[in-house]
Amino acid sequence: MMVWLASIIGRTWVLWCLLLGTVALSAGFKLWMPGAGGVLLDGQLTAEAARQLLMNMTEPQKAVHIRITLLLDMPYPFFYAGLSAGITLRAFGPGRWWFALPAMLAIPSDLFENVIQLLALAGDDRLLGIKDVLTPFKYLLVLVASAVSLAGLIRMVLARRRTGTDTA
Number of domains in the chain: 1
Average pLDDT, the chain: 93
Per the CB < 8 A criterion, the answer to whether 25 and 72 are in contact is yes
Contact between 42 and 113 (Cβ < 8 Å): yes
Let me know if residue 17 belongs to a domain: yes
Residue 45 clears pLDDT 70, i.e. is over it? yes
Q: What is the pLDDT of residue 166?
A: 55
147 part of a folded domain: yes
Enclosing domain of residue 26 = 2-163
Q: Is the pLDDT of residue 76 over 70?
A: yes
Across 16-28, average pLDDT:
98
Q: Judge whether 32 lies within some domain.
A: yes
Using CA atoms, how far apart are residues 34 and 52, in angstroms rounded to an integer? 18
**Distance in angstroms (rounded) separating the CA atoms of residues 66 and 148:** 32
Does residue 117 fall inside a structural domain? yes
In a domain? residue 104: yes
Q: Angle at Cα 125 formed by Cα 76 and Cα 56, nearest 5°?
A: 85
pLDDT digits (tens, 9 = 90+) for 132-168: 999 999 999 999 999 999 999 999 999 888 886 655 5
pLDDT of residue 99: 96
Model pLDDT for residues 84-130, shown as the tens digit of each residue: 999 999 999 888 899 999 999 999 999 999 999 999 999 999 999 99
pLDDT at residue number 163: 80
The answer to whether position 168 is within a domain reads: no
Distance CA 147, CA 137 (A): 15
Whether residue 2 is predicted with pLDDT greater than 70 in this model: the reply is no
Mean pLDDT of 33-52: 96
In this structure, is residue 77 part of a structural domain? yes
